[in-house]
Copies of this chain bind each other. A is one copy, B any other.
Amino acid sequence: MERKTPTIQDVARFANVSTATVSRALSSPEKVSEGTRARVSEAVRVTGYTLNQAGRSLRQRSAKTILVALPDIRNPFFSSILDAIEREAAARGYGVLVLNLYFGHETIRRLQDFLLSNRADGLLLLDGSVDTNLLQALAGQADAIPIVVACEEIPNSGFHTVLTDNVDAAERATQHLIDLGHRRIGHLLGPDHNVVSRERFTGFARALAASGLAPVPEWSFRGNFDMESGFSAAARFLSMTERPTAIFAANDESAIGFLSGLRQHGIICPRDISVVGFDDLGVAPHYVPPLTTMRQPREALGRMAAEALIDIVEDPDALGIPLRIVLRSELVVRESTARIARGGTNKAGADTPSS
């Protein structure tokens, strides 16, 4: 009973044709006569044949697989993008390999390996902080490896890019706070080295400038995109005597951590402080209070990035110039932001509102 998985040879034998014909019948049916086609289908059915992808990959030098490299799968922001990517890839017959990109050379080596070893046909990179030289070496060769960078921009790299309008969105988020009457506005930063962090800060500063304000260095809280860092920032906030009345947080997770920290000391949002986040995570509408936030079109972003990558994989000349798609984020107003209180309740000492 030692049956091996059937190969194209078995099918050929059964259908009484050559392996070449079987191959053609399966991948370009129009090249084969109707009768033969039927015999081959039947033979496939009977033998239970399935393609051996390794054989095909070897010959065609393509793996029908894309590699998605991201800084943290656990982050719900990335995981929903990954979801969209997987859907799109599946629809086009591609598999998705995921690679956690902690940091350091080790993982870069692995990334390179995956690509060079013909396990993946292209790279979808969801992290802007990867060594550019290395990537360009990969992308610049004669048989260049298709790369699409999504979410985070790698400046001047010339890679195809799909991202959201971080600067502009941050500006609008901050403007929302200004529109509500806030003048003392702080920012909960993202990680230092991160491009997205910087863009959001830029948009923040730009909105302030447009209203004749300037960022107060004290009110830029260190953060890291995660809840813990928001929580720690709250401690610093609480220790200050001159506090902002509103905060633009670099993302929802840190906003939540921040609010959670404040709440433990009786600072209530939006009564005492307004907070606007970024991302519109699933929990945002169900948090207490429901979070005002910039909604990034995550599904679209993932889908379009995957689409573009596969287009290039299938026809390297498809795109003349580097692609650059910018998707617009949308402000979702909920309950974590409110018009500034009239009498300026927000005192930690004897501070007067600037109005």
With a CB–CB cut-off of 8 A, which chain B residues contact A253? 282
Interface assignment of A3: CB less than 8 Å from any CB of chain B:
yes
Residue ID in chain B nearest A256 by CB atoms: B286
Instruction: Say whether, besides A117-B53, A143-B5, A288 and B286 are in contact (CB < 8 Å).
Output: no
- Closest-CB distance, A106 to chain B (whole angstroms): 9
A 70-96 to B, binary, CB cutoff 8 A, 1 in contact else 0: 001110100110110011001000011
Inter-subunit contact A119/B76 (CB<8 Å): no
Interface assignment of A100: CB less than 8 Å from any CB of chain B:
yes
Contact of A79 among B2, B74, B141, B263 (CB under 8 A): B74
Inter-subunit contact B4/A52 (CB<8 Å): no
Interface assignment of A58: CB less than 8 Å from any CB of chain B:
yes
With a CB–CB cut-off of 8 A, which chain B residues contact A143? 4-5
Inter-subunit contact A98/B119 (CB<8 Å): no
Number of copies of this kind of chain in the complex: 2
Interface bracket on A: 35 or more
Whole-angstrom CA separation of A97 from B64 in the bound complex:
12
Instruction: Say whether, besides A4-B142, A57-B54, A63-B54, A110 and B86 are in contact (CB < 8 Å).
Output: no
Whole-angstrom CA separation of A227 from B282 in the bound complex:
8
Whole-angstrom CA separation of A169 from B110 in the bound complex:
39
Inter-subunit contact A98/B100 (CB<8 Å): no
Whole-angstrom CA separation of A113 from B53 in the bound complex:
10
A275-290 interface with B by 8 A CB criterion: 282-283, 285-288, 290
Inter-subunit contact B82/A98 (CB<8 Å): yes
Inter-subunit contact B73/A79 (CB<8 Å): yes
Whole-angstrom CA separation of A110 from B96 in the bound complex:
12
Whole-angstrom CA separation of A253 from B259 in the bound complex:
19
Interface assignment of A212: CB less than 8 Å from any CB of chain B:
no
Contact of A55 among B58, B141, B282, B287 (CB under 8 A): B58
A-B contact pairs, 24 of them (CB 8 A): A4-B142, A50-B117, A51-B117, A52-B117, A52-B118, A53-B118, A54-B54, A55-B58, A73-B83, A74-B83, A79-B79, A87-B100, A95-B114, A96-B97, A96-B99, A98-B98, A227-B283, A227-B285, A227-B286, A231-B286, A257-B286, A259-B288, A260-B286, A263-B288
